Amino acid sequence: MKRRKIFSILLLIFATLIWGSTFTLVKSTLRFINEFQLLFLRFGFASVVALFVVLRHRKFLKNPKLLLLLIILGISLFVAYAFQTIGLKYTTPTKSAFITGLYIVFTPIFSTIYLKEKPRNFEIVALVLSFVGLLFLSQIDLRSLNSVNFGDILTLLCAISFAFQIVLTEKLVKDLPSLLVTSIQMIVSFALSFPFAFLNQHFNLNRFVMFSTLFLGVVASFFAIQTESFALKYIDSTEASLIFILEPVFAYLFSFFILGERLNFGGIVGATLILTSMVIIAIYNKE
- Encode the chain (287 residues) as per-residue pLDDT tens digits: 577 888 888 899 999 888 888 877 887 888 898 889 999 999 999 999 999 999 998 888 888 999 999 999 999 999 998 898 888 778 766 677 778 888 888 999 999 988 888 888 888 898 888 888 887 877 666 666 566 788 888 989 999 999 999 999 999 999 999 999 999 999 999 999 999 888 866 788 899 999 999 999 999 999 999 999 999 999 989 888 888 888 778 877 777 777 666 767 877 888 888 888 888 877 776 55
Question: What integer pLDDT is reported at residue 60 of this predicted model?
Answer: 86
Number of H helices, E strands in the chain: 14, 0
Q: What is the CA radius of gyration of the chain?
A: 18
Candidates 251, 247, 271, 270; CA nearest to 259 is 251
Return d(Cα 132, Cα 170) in angstroms, integer: 26
pTM of the model: 0.87
240 in helix, strand or coil?
helix
* CB 151 within 8 Å of CB 98: no
How many CB atoms lie under 10 A from the CB of residue 129? Answer: 21
Question: What integer pLDDT is reported at residue 166 of this predicted model?
Answer: 95
How many CB atoms lie under 10 A from the CB of residue 67? Answer: 13
Question: What integer pLDDT is reported at residue 260 of this predicted model?
Answer: 67
Return d(Cα 184, Cα 278) in angstroms, integer: 30
Question: What integer pLDDT is reported at residue 1 of this predicted model?
Answer: 59
Return d(Cα 287, Cα 124) in angstroms, integer: 17
* CB 277 within 8 Å of CB 133: yes
Could you state, in order of their start, the residue ranges of all structural domains in the chain?
Answer: 2-286
